[in-house]
Amino acid sequence: MMNFLVKTLANAGALAVAVWLVGRISLEGGSTGEKAWTLIVVALIFGLVNLLVKPLVQLLTLPLFLLTLGLITLVVNALMLLLTSWIAGELDLSFHVDGFWTAVLGGLVISVVSWALNLVLPDGD
């Protein structure tokens, strides 16, 4: 349970950095507390999308993964971020990713920041 919480908080932090760095990823809302809550909910959605949908997409894109030496992973991460944005919109959350190339850049930022945070944060169960 602790590992799930740590990974969710790392995802929320990575999403916050992406919102801050990438101009066309937006997080609207009122107070800082509301934005933080929205980030945590979006991080949960992002985690579920990565848990349930991403393995299937990776399996379907395995030949492209081999052909591009793994660069297709950037596209898969962008698609997962766009799906998360769409689900957040359907749930009336104020998180939005504007376009595919924005999602590619955002996915890259989120991957790097999540990796760095997971190095620093404890990995206990």
Q: Which long-range contacts (CB under 8 A, 24 or more apart) does 36-42 make?
A: 36/12, 38/93, 38/94, 38/95, 39/12, 39/15, 39/95, 40/8, 40/9, 40/12, 41/88, 41/91, 41/93, 42/12, 42/15, 42/84, 42/88, 42/93, 42/95
2 has a pLDDT exceeding 60: yes
Provide the pLDDT for residue 28: 86
CB neighbours of 97 closer than 8 A, spacing ≥ 6? 24, 25, 81, 82, 84, 85, 103, 106
Q: Torsions phi, psi of 11, nearest 5?
A: -65, -40
Q: What is the pLDDT of residues 65-116, one digit of tens each?
A: 999 988 899 999 999 999 999 999 999 999 999 999 999 999 999 999 988 9
Amino acid 124: pLDDT: 59
| CB neighbour class for 119 (10 Å; exposed up to 12, middle 13-18, buried from 19) | exposed
How sure is the predictor about 1, in pLDDT bands with cuts at 50, 70 and 90?
Answer: low
pTM to 2 decimal places: 0.89
What tens digit of pLDDT does each residue of 12-34 get? 999 999 999 998 999 987 888 89
Query: What is the per-residue pLDDT for 123?
Result: 66
